[in-house]
Amino acid sequence: MQGQRVSSPYPPVPPVPLSGPSLPHRLQSFWLRVSAGMRLNELWDQLRSDARSTYRLYAREVDAARPSGTPRQKHFVHVAKQFFWAILEKLTPARRILLLVALVLLVLPQAEMVGNPGQHWEFRFEAHLLGGLLMFGLLILELTDRVVMKRDLQIAKEIQAWLLPARPPQVPGLEIAFATRPANTVAGDYYDVFPRRTSDGSAPGATSQTFLIAVADVAGKSVPAAMLMATIQASLRALCTTPGPVTELVTRMNRYACSNSQNGRRFTTAFIAEYDPASHVLQYVNAGHNPPVLRRRSGTTEELSAGGLPLGVMEDARYEFGTVSLEPGDLLAAYTDGLVEAENARTEEYGEARFLNLLQTMAAAPADVILGSVLIDIDRFVGSAPQHDDVTLMLLKAA
């Protein structure tokens, strides 16, 4: 994969022409290339979002509480020192030295060195210029790491997209719509819908087709969560080939998850269900997941909460199952906690109440229309605030 270029998330802009157009036109082209065509308010929003994310990263290692009796000025210096060390320790030892030398040079006064008597030359040492060049060199080194990491993450994103369904399968009697939004390049959320062959008991060897439905959320975010998500997907696909009820399937998945959970630190909440198109019955197990909401055609709602502990917490955990019958007009919404916990700039959560109210309002619409409306409403609520967690939503509407 060496030499693979990482595509930019911003629209391509033609390079600045070296000759021909007038200076104002060349300056405009230069600005468009630098800004990627973004407006000033969009650039400002991006800077604010980046600043918040950066502050949260370093603030985790800073104790900003001021002890009683400590002067404000002394406390400010103490907090500033903590921030400085939090930043410095993110660099490699060699780059820490480079940064310190650059900072020292930036504060040094200009120095001048004159040659020996009889010689007609002098050497002017520009400490500020050298400090700036060292900072620029450090920036290039850090950008190199970021580009390499971005390339690897882009490959991981493509692999993850291949693991997840691109579009809903055709399930008799159901409209299905789903979407996911990772907080980072790759996500720890998992969703899937796929057919499962089961014995129908009518005759030896006779089988019927049901559909497995899964929505899961791995603890954590980014690469570690995405790697564990891939193991959850693989175990579900492999274990479902063995006949048995959904409780047995989840029990086997839990045993597998416990062998990779680092003593329960890497657990997974999951909603696993099996839908039978012939009987319109959905049998499910909720393994510590946000209870999916079933909105009946009459307007009443119920939560699907029967189940047990998250996967990977306790190897001998026992799971119960729940059963619901889906009638025409019923709407089932399964989601991860990133949806209801999405925050705006005032750190207010989107909330389950707002989500349920929107489902009630849009219940008569097709599943894909409801899905689009929920995502738009989340965007409207969150605004320019950064996304803290992966967001996944799956809707099933009985037809």
Q: Helix (H, G, I), strand (E, B), or coil: what is residue 136? A: helix
pTM of the model: 0.73
Q: In a structure prediction context, what are the per-residue pLDDT tens digits for the chain, which is 399 residues long?
A: 444 444 455 555 555 454 556 778 888 888 888 888 888 888 888 888 788 778 888 888 888 888 888 888 888 898 899 989 988 998 999 999 999 999 988 887 765 555 555 555 555 667 788 888 999 999 999 888 888 888 887 887 788 788 888 899 999 999 999 999 988 878 889 999 999 876 554 444 445 789 999 999 998 777 888 888 888 888 999 999 888 999 999 999 999 888 876 666 789 999 999 999 999 999 999 999 999 999 999 999 999 999 999 999 998 999 999 999 999 999 999 999 999 999 998 889 999 999 999 999 999 999 999 999 999 999 999 987 888 889 999 999 998
Angle at 120 between CA 116 and CA 121, to 5 degrees: 80
What is the helix (H) or strand (E) element at residue 258, kind and residue range? helix 246-258
Domain parsing of the chain, residue ranges: 86-112+122-163, 164-398
Cα–Cα distance measured from residue 289 to residue 216, given in angstroms and rounded to the nearest whole number: 7
The answer to whether the CB of 312 falls within 8 A of the CB of 264 is yes
What does the DSSP assignment read for 8-31?
PSSPP-PPPPSSSS-HHHHHHHHH
The CATH code for residues 164-398 is 3.60.40.10
Q: Helix (H, G, I), strand (E, B), or coil: what is residue 236? A: helix
